[in-house]
A and B are shown apart, each in its own frame.
Chain A
Amino acid sequence: MQYGIGFGIVAGIITGPLPVGVLPSTSTDPAADALALLYAASVLWTGLLVFVIAVIAVGLFRIARIPS
């Protein structure tokens, strides 16, 4: 099963960047589309960054509480 997941991830990595700037776009304004995609990613990432900081902070706190 892990190999199946692995191939899926590799396929995602390979095909992921292709829509941006590599494949010919049918949009009337590709630059605006790309900027919109980047904006969406920025919003999502900023949210994820808060999650990252929270997970690390809580995780380190719980590790610190392991009896010495």
Chain B
Amino acid sequence: MAFPIQAFSLVTGIFLALMYLHFAVLPRGISGAGFLFDVYAWSSLLWVTPLVFTAASVVGLLIYRARSSIDSKLEPIVTPVAFRIVSRGFDRATIWKTVESVRSSMAAHRLFPYWIEVVTDSAAVALPWSDDLRPITVPRGYRTPRGSLYKARALHYALEFSTLPDQGWIVHLDEETCVTPSFVVGIRRAVEEEERSGRHRTGAGIILYHHSLDGHPFMTLAESARSGDDSGRYHLMQRLGFPIFGLHGSGILIRNSVEKAIGFDFGPGGSITEDAYLALFQIAHGYRARWVDGYVVEQAAFTLSDYLRQRRRWFVGITKTAMHAPVAFRYRAPMLVAMLAWALSWASVSYTYSSLIAGSRAPTLVVVLSDLVLATYLALGLIGLKLNLDGYGPIPLRRRAALYVAQLLCTPLFSIMEGAAVFYGLLQPDQKFHVVKKDANAAPVPASTMTSM
């Protein structure tokens, strides 16, 4: 069955089930007269604050068309591609695994000339220079004109140091971002189309997290909704050409000339989530976005502490971007609205459990809309899990079923975790670039290609 039909059926099925629960099974709740009762009842509007993003997710899912990566007619192209891995340089094993994933995926589909650039703040990893591997160490005293920090500083230095020609393309990877053969095929198609059309749009695909499924199943399930969100909301924005909610920091395909025109010198405030700055700057500079069919695989945050700190960085960094990125307000406004909705998420979660205990009655329209929001959130988690399990490889039916049930049952916990991370960000808006712990022994990249659901 095609992906959009599956997704539509899932969202509709869960929505109808929730409506049935609300209006036919569960007690309808009570309401009282008076100001405090009214405040309590109408606070249920918190549930519908993500409605716009829900609608975007549903539309994105409905137009998702994964092309099969198995296409013998694909001819190699001559445009060079640099896989640019950025790391602090402390975890050689994880970096090496990423390098090997690029090599094995390129061996499966040798569709363009490539090399791998590993950009680190430390030379301690001591990677060997070879035909396809070019270590770049950022000098300790290097400073960008605007004083950018962390990853943005390293990326800006790489732009100056790299020998990649302007017509070449860059694939941005984090130190644990493993490339799959499907992504190589997606890159080949995207580069050829963009060079032919001359539009030079920036591409992105779906990030999976199944590498940590065996060691950290709970935390991996917590990331499922992100993969689902990639195939929904982010997919829609890429297809429209305007990544108004930002870009992920890895799995980005961008032409070197475009990246040089924008740079990564966003200053300290733009260095917390430099990917969000990049998204807004490229829109403001007149560049557009596109979808790349294919997957890269990352690792979930292994601990609750890492999870909270990572989300806090995203919340603080993207909010800072939405507030102060020097682009027209109309470009920043959607990101600002998204961050305000995210800032309210912990209040929404608190209200949900409070009203469950108190047995309050929310207005009927609010209940219907919030059921749609919740149905979409649940569906994104399940769709994301399916994408991850398909990428994971063969898995016994019993374990697969158990993971789907666990995904559903744990969703209330995941929403609490997300809300807690935002609350943490509001209480302690730390501007540091927290890097989560990685595990080089996570599952290997499967050799099989996979782009269809």
Which A positions have Cβ atoms within 8 angstroms of B?
2-3, 6, 9-10, 12-13, 16-17, 19-22, 31, 34-35, 37-46, 48-49, 52, 55-56, 58-60, 62-64, 66-68
Contacts and interface: CB of A to CB of B under 8 A. Distances in A.
A59 B359 contact: no
Contacts of A39: 32, 36-37
Interface string B268-301: 1110100000000000000000000000000000
A55 B423 CA distance: 8
Interface of B: 26-27, 29-32, 36-37, 39-40, 43, 218, 267-270, 272, 303-304, 316, 319-320, 323-324, 343-344, 347, 350-351, 353-360, 409-410, 412-413, 416, 423, 425-427, 429, 431
Given A40-B358, A56-B343, 11 more contacts: A9-B412, A17-B357, A19-B357, A31-B30, A39-B32, A41-B358, A42-B32, A52-B347, A63-B320, A64-B323, A66-B320
Nearest to B347: A52
A49 B423 CA distance: 14
Query: Does more than half of chain A's interface fall in helix, strand or loop, or is it mixed?
Result: helix
Contact of A62 (B43, B304, B429): B429
Contacts of B316: 63, 66
A42 B359 contact: no
A43 B343 contact: no
B385 to A, nearest CB: 18
A18 B347 CA distance: 22
B269 A38 contact: no
A16 B27 CA distance: 13
Contacts of A67: 267-269
A10 B413 contact: yes
B269 A21 contact: no
